Amino acid sequence: MKRRAAVALALSLLTGCEAEPQPTTPPAVQAAKYDAIYVWPGVRPAAGSAAKTVYLLDGEVRREGAARLERLRMGVPKLPGRTVWLVVRAERLDWNEATYAAILADLARWEDAGNAVAGLQVDFDAATRGIEGYARFLQGLRERLPGRWKLSITGLMDWSAHGDPQALAGLAETIDEVVVQTYQARTTIPGYEQYFARMERFPIPFRVALVEGGAWQAPPMLAHHPMFRGYVVFLLGPTKPKT
């Protein structure tokens, strides 16, 4: 009887161990499965890419020297049948009129070349406590931007989740979308699920930016969030060999 009890106990412990769920690694992001992509100069989408929306980096407004648009793209893109966003990376917000004029001129050139230009996206890492100042800058930009073009910005997960509700509401009156960045360099930021759990009441239409090859498992809240508009995948260039 004692031997039978020992065997039963061992079997129950073994069964309990087998039933314990094992952690799973989120699948890697495959750009071909998404309909919107970020393309930086020097990076080419894979052959046969079916992306319907393309965010193209045009240039940068750098921190050094006088504010100006440093163009990084040679020539004018021609992407018939796709929606195009002109992206400007900004390290500063004290733009002068020449900077605004250069960006507006590029938007017009891209449109004149036959592209369906959705509008302008500003890629700026606004601090969580600096959203109000950023909102004032965006208001001035919106006033200069012709009404046929939309205004998009990138957003950090931190301020998207923890930003002041009044400041976010002010942004909602100025911009058309936020693209929330979930990665740093080539890697998805750990713990992204916690940030999205705090975005239940986010008041602005938003997309989620993923990095190609990064780990991603969609938080359940995205499926029913009224402001969620889909994903954008940041394409990576080839990795340089180590020397």
- CA–CA separation, 120 vs 122, rounded Å? 7
Question: What is the predicted pLDDT for the residue at 64?
Answer: 94
Question: What is the predicted pLDDT for the residue at 169?
Answer: 84
22-81 confidence digits (pLDDT tens) = 456 789 999 999 999 999 998 988 776 779 999 999 999 999 999 999 999 988 999 999
pTM as predicted: 0.86
**Helix residue ranges per DSSP H, the chain:** 2-19, 97-112, 131-144, 157-162, 165-172, 192-197
Question: What is the predicted pLDDT for the residue at 12?
Answer: 44
Question: What is the predicted pLDDT for the residue at 2?
Answer: 45
- CA–CA separation, 86 vs 76, rounded Å? 11
Question: What is the predicted pLDDT for the residue at 238?
Answer: 64
The boundaries of the domain holding residue 108 are: 28-234
Q: Is residue 243 part of a domain?
A: no
Q: Which CATH number is 224's domain given?
A: 3.20.20.80
Residues (pLDDT < 50) of the chain are: 1-2, 5-22, 240-243
- CA–CA separation, 125 vs 162, rounded Å? 15
Q: Is residue 115 part of a domain?
A: yes
Q: Is residue 22 part of a domain?
A: no
